[in-house]
Structure 1
Amino acid sequence: MRNLNQDNITQAVIARFGDTPDPRLKEIMTSLVQHLHAFAREVRLTEAEWLEGIAFLTATGQKCDDKRQEFILLSDVLGLSMLTVAMNNDKPRGCTEATVFGPFFVEGAPHYAHGDDVANGAVGEPCEVFAHVRGVKGEPIAGARVDVWQADAEGHYDVQHPGLAHAQGRGVLTTGADGGFHFRTIVAEAYPIPTDGPVGTLLAATKRHPWRPAHLHFKIEAEGYEPLITHVFRSGDQYLDSDAVFGVRQSLVADWVPQPGGGHRLDYDFVLNPLAGPKA
């Protein structure tokens, strides 16, 4: 098609995807083109602004490596991550709510026995975590894999410490016969998301703070149940109502209870949703 203009180019582009064999891919690309073109028209996007946007996305990709995912961070601060989580995790009443994955999960974290020190040298006040993993009917889930990770008291994850030779504040545990697991770590503290990249530049330009309320990350997997990716947030944190990545849910807020002998204790139970059975 020749003589394309601002009025007919959208349909011309959509037509080019007409032979896409995967119907879902065709649906996504058609909608993407429609909304991208509508956005450009709505804001009357200039060529200079378009080039600036391309430069921003390029810089975002260049900031990514095996220890940091700047595109996830961008999705988080735009609320897209949490919107996608909410749309895809509509669980029965009583199940633990899901929230954002975050950019600092690492595969291959060390395995720990119950009661071990997952902090492994991370800076912070001592804390013990006691938790159970159950099904919606209250049944204990034995043998569940639990990944846990957190920032230290300085607001950094282990992968943000150059030259650190071992994992800190992250590990893998397996639930016991009663569905329980227990580990020692440090108290979760509020921290700012990384601002030394394009996402930080965006936050500064839009007068948004980068802070996340104090939390622990959990990824729980068990045979016969839907996997769960969630946080447990520390009650009383000043950023619970303004989380930079929109991840807070009231059901995920819990008390870190000061202990008479020093340190804190967190108790929390996770409830998993069973996998749907085969359709009749």
Structure 2
Amino acid sequence: MTTTEHSPTAAGAGASATQAFRAGRSADTGAPEVSAERISDVASAVLDGVHAAIRAKKVTYGEFQAAKQWLIDVGEGREWPLLLDVFVEHVVEEVAAEDQHGTKGSILGPYHLPGQPKLPSETTLPMRPDEKGVPLMFTGQVRDVDGNPVVGAELDIWHADDEGYYSGFAAHVPDGNLRGVVVCDGQGRFEISTIKPAPYQIPTDGPTGKLLEAAGWHPWRPAHLHLIVSAPGHRPITTQLFFEGGDWLKDDVAHATKPDLVLDPQPHGDNGLRAEYNFVLERI
């Protein structure tokens, strides 16, 4: 994300991400019950890992107090969605994918906003009349693991603009910009006109940014499209699609890239690009 007067603060982005997360959780009525034994097992393993790191690295009291203050700052800045999505979610996704089939998944990230308007299979994502960026035609088909078209498939798609900003997380970007739920046709096909997004920095003016700076880590994510692909009777896929040759593709701060998820856009029309990707959904 380029640094301009429009750059959202970490606190502002964190507040928006927290609100969106809570809205999504309130709509999820099918969450399974978790037993005390499972909570104890996982929590004990996490604490054991922390204890082992303290012993192995000989953490001092000063470092412990600094970590405590940093965790307090993360909470007060409402940066938990950002921190967990950048540094932890990719491993949770890897574990979830171990017994799944179909298109490779990737992290959801903090910038999803539920409840976007439904759009037809051939559509243009909502955008400003003067939207900057290279035009991108994104096409493909949703099939099942046997190669059959998936009737009723939907693509919830969202991405950053040409400067790396997301609607709902940057005040100067209109609500709903470059977001929508595309309803595929009877053959599971879609054709989406949009623009190629830009790489961006995660917000760095809060405690997450301070950690990156202190550790000497960069804050960049490669350009990507976010998607949740779903259909009745099939396991939904949350994923991201990246661009061949893009900056930070092999050094994503969120560790979310995968070779199977890289698009190879070709020239299309007047100074535009066209990219195709076919999704495969697993029956449930």
Q: 2:85, 2:110 within 8 Å by CA — same for their partners in 1?
A: no
Work out whether 1:105 is the aligned partner of 2:119: no
Q: 2:166, 2:173 within 8 Å by CA — same for their partners in 1?
A: no
**Counterpart amino acid of residue 144 in structure 2:** G
What is the Cα deviation at residue 92 of structure 1? Answer: 6.0
What is the Cα deviation at residue 119 of structure 1? Answer: 4.2
Q: 1:188, 1:234 within 8 Å by CA — same for their partners in 2?
A: no
Partners of 2:132 and 2:77 in 1: CA distance: 26
Q: 1:119, 1:186 within 8 Å by CA — same for their partners in 2?
A: no
- The alignment-based identity, stated in percent, is 32
Q: Which ranges of 4 or more aligned residues in structure 1 deviate by more than 4 Å?
A: none
Report what 2:261 is aligned to.
252
Report what 2:92 is aligned to.
84
Q: 1:191, 1:211 within 8 Å by CA — same for their partners in 2?
A: yes
Partners of 2:253 and 2:44 in 1: CA distance: 31
Q: 2:266, 2:274 within 8 Å by CA — same for their partners in 1?
A: yes
Matches within 5 A, 1:148-227: 148-162=157-171, 164-227=173-236
Q: 1:132, 1:269 within 8 Å by CA — same for their partners in 2?
A: yes
TM-score when scaled to structure 1? 0.82
Report what 1:10 is aligned to.
none
Q: 1:119, 1:184 within 8 Å by CA — same for their partners in 2?
A: no
Report what 1:6 is aligned to.
none
Matches within 5 A, 1:127-166: 127-162=136-171, 164-166=173-175
**Counterpart amino acid of residue 244 in structure 1:** V
Task: Report the number of matched residues.
Answer: 249
Partners of 2:108 and 2:135 in 1: CA distance: 25
Report what 1:42 is aligned to.
56
Partners of 1:27 and 1:56 in 2: CA distance: 26
Report what 1:55 is aligned to.
69
What is the Cα deviation at residue 211 of structure 1? Answer: 1.4
**Counterpart amino acid of residue 43 in structure 1:** K
Q: 1:76, 1:246 within 8 Å by CA — same for their partners in 2?
A: no
Report what 1:24 is aligned to.
38
Partners of 1:97 and 1:206 in 2: CA distance: 30
Task: Give the stretch that moved more between structures: 113-122 or 244-253.
Answer: 113-122
**Counterpart amino acid of residue 243 in structure 1:** D
Work out whether 1:118 is the aligned partner of 2:130: no
Q: Name the SS of the counterpart of 1:171 in structure 2.
A: strand
Partners of 1:97 and 1:263 in 2: CA distance: 27
**Counterpart amino acid of residue 111 in structure 2:** F
Q: Name the SS of the counterpart of 2:255 in structure 1.
A: coil
Q: Name the SS of the counterpart of 2:118 in structure 1.
A: coil
Report what 1:33 is aligned to.
47
**Counterpart amino acid of residue 119 in structure 2:** Y
**Counterpart amino acid of residue 45 in structure 2:** S
Q: 2:229, 2:238 within 8 Å by CA — same for their partners in 1?
A: yes
Partners of 1:235 and 1:119 in 2: CA distance: 25
Q: 2:234, 2:281 within 8 Å by CA — same for their partners in 1?
A: yes
- Mark the runs of 5 or more structure 2 residues left unpaired by the alignment: 1-33
What is the Cα deviation at residue 262 of structure 1? Answer: 2.9
Q: 2:152, 2:183 within 8 Å by CA — same for their partners in 1?
A: yes
Q: Which has the higher contact order (CA 8 A, sep 6+)?
A: 2
What is the Cα deviation at residue 75 of structure 1? Answer: 2.7
Partners of 1:104 and 1:120 in 2: CA distance: 17
Rg larger for: 1
Q: 1:72, 1:81 within 8 Å by CA — same for their partners in 2?
A: no
Matches within 5 A, 1:234-273: 234-273=243-282
- Mark the runs of 5 or more structure 1 residues left unpaired by the alignment: 1-19, 65-69, 276-280
